[in-house]
A = this chain, B = another copy of it.
Amino acid sequence: MKPTITAFERSPDGGKGLARDMRVRWALEETGQDYEVRLRSFSALNEPAHLALHPFGQIPTYEEGDLTLFESGAIVLHIAERHQGLLPVDANARARAITWMFGALNTVEPPVFDRDLAMILEREEPWYEQRMRVLEDSIRKRLGALSTRLGDAEWLDGRFSAGDLLMVTVLRRLKGSGMLEETPNLAAYVARGEARPAFKRAFDAQLAVFKSASTGG
Identify the A interface with B (CB < 8 A): 51, 55-58, 66-75, 77-78, 92, 95-96, 98-99, 101-103, 105-107, 109-110, 113-114, 121-122, 125-127, 130-131, 134, 142, 145-146, 148-149
Residue A74 contacts which of B70, B102, B113, B145 (CB distance < 8 angstroms)? B102
Contact A55-B146, Cβ < 8 Å, known A77-B98, A110-B114: yes
Closest to A76 in B: B102
Q: Name 9 extra pairs, CB < 8 A, besides A57-B145, A74-B98, A126-B127.
A: A55-B145, A55-B148, A55-B149, A56-B107, A74-B99, A105-B105, A105-B106, A126-B126, A127-B127
A102 adjacent to B105 (CB under 8 Å): yes
Residues of B within 8 A of A114 (CB): 110, 114
Say what secondary structure dominates the interface of chain A.
helix
Residues of B within 8 A of A71 (CB): 99, 102-103, 106-107
A130 adjacent to B125 (CB under 8 Å): yes
A66 to B77, CA, bound (A): 24
A78 to B121, CA, bound (A): 37
Could you pull out 7 A-B pairs where Cβ atoms are within 8 angstroms? A56-B145, A67-B95, A71-B106, A74-B98, A74-B101, A122-B127, A125-B127
Residues of B within 8 A of A148 (CB): 51, 55
A56 adjacent to B134 (CB under 8 Å): no
